Amino acid sequence: MKKKITATVLSQKEIAPRIFDMWIATDLAACAKAGQFIGVYPKDRSTLLPRPISICQVSDKKDALRIVYRIAGQGTAEFSSYQEGDSVEILGTLGNGFPTEAAEGKKVFLMGGGIGIPPMLELARELPASTEKQIIVGYRDDQLFLKEDLEKNGTVYIATEDGSVGTKGNVLDAIREQNLTADVIYACGPTPMLRAIKEYAAEKGIKCYISLEEKMACGIGACLACVCQSKDVDHHSNVHNKRICKDGPVFLAEEVEL
Ligand code: FES
């Protein structure tokens, strides 16, 4: 189900420099799942396109969505000024989401880097009880947003670029340092991180799902900024392009070129 609605802001706070945590009351939550996103429309109509923002959490009653986003431009700067009771126009739910059934009875890595961390929270909440959840998150520094929420849903390992907390380096450095292993990987973060994880998964023969949400712009199939090459062979051209916002944002790592 996808629809455009006016929702109400329940709360908003800054949880790290320029990173905001907003809860929105909306019945779109009833059908939302981890790895999906919503389009949020700025009130400033200099652009008609929404900003795609991933779903960080669905409330237990399935009547509210939590989004955690970084200020990246005018639109997100405007969202950061919203307060309890403000209305916000949103479109959702968008995208395919993570396939959680692949984790049944398995040992998994949930790997999030930077603003790719938020979708890992809802994913950790949705994975089956039989899944062993190892959540590996990479931050720039000691601003460990969402750490406590993640710890309630799995075992958390931290990497920081500046070495201030956990392993110095990235999420792959953390799993090597801790000698961690997994049967399935779910990952979201900057493209260089996903490229490295894709290589790691191929080398170890691990099934790996990556969310390419970082490459999206409008999120609704209108701008074509998100096209990526896929391995699917098209009968006519031998290549096939996918729109990340429509066909993804989650793909099997081996299906897409990064
Ligand atoms: Fe605009 Fe996909 S993000 S078409």
How large is the average pLDDT for residues 233-242? 62
Alpha helices in the chain (DSSP H): 74-79, 118-126, 147-151, 171-177, 191-204, 244-247
Give 192's contacts (C-beta < 8 A, 6+ positions apart): none
Whole-number Å distance, alpha carbon 38 to ligand 1 midpoint, is 13
Residue-level pLDDT at 238: 55
Among 91, 216, 256, say which to mutate for ligand 1: greatest number of ligand atoms within 8 Å of CB: 216
pLDDT band for position 233 (cuts 50, 70, 90): low
pLDDT band for position 214 (cuts 50, 70, 90): confident
- Does residue 236 register a pLDDT over 60? no
pLDDT band for position 219 (cuts 50, 70, 90): confident
Please state, in angstroms and rounded to a whole number, the distance separating the CA atoms of residues 35 and 48: 24
Coil, strand or helix: which one is 202?
helix
Ligand 1 atom, smallest distance to 223 CA: 1
Residue-level pLDDT at 98: 97
Whole-number Å distance, alpha carbon 199 to ligand 1 midpoint, is 26
Ligand 1 atom, smallest distance to 222 CA: 4
Among 51, 53, 211, 220, say which to mutate for ligand 1: greatest number of ligand atoms within 8 Å of CB: 220
How large is the average pLDDT for residues 92-117? 96
DSSP state of 256: B
Whole-number Å distance, alpha carbon 45 to ligand 1 midpoint, is 18
Residue-level pLDDT at 222: 85
- Does residue 47 register a pLDDT over 70? yes
pLDDT band for position 220 (cuts 50, 70, 90): confident
List the helix and strand counts (H, then E) for the chain.
Answer: 6, 15
Nearest alpha-carbon partner for 35 in 247, 255, 256: 247
Percent of the chain with pLDDT over 90: 81
Whole-number Å distance, alpha carbon 9 to ligand 1 midpoint, is 26
**Each residue of 121-130: pLDDT tens digit?**
999 999 999 9
Helix or strand holding residue 132 (H, E) = strand 132-139
CB-based contact 65:38 (threshold 8 Å): yes
Residue-level pLDDT at 216: 83
Ligand 1 environment, Cβ below 6 A: 216-219, 221-226, 243-245
Whole-number Å distance, alpha carbon 75 to ligand 1 midpoint, is 16
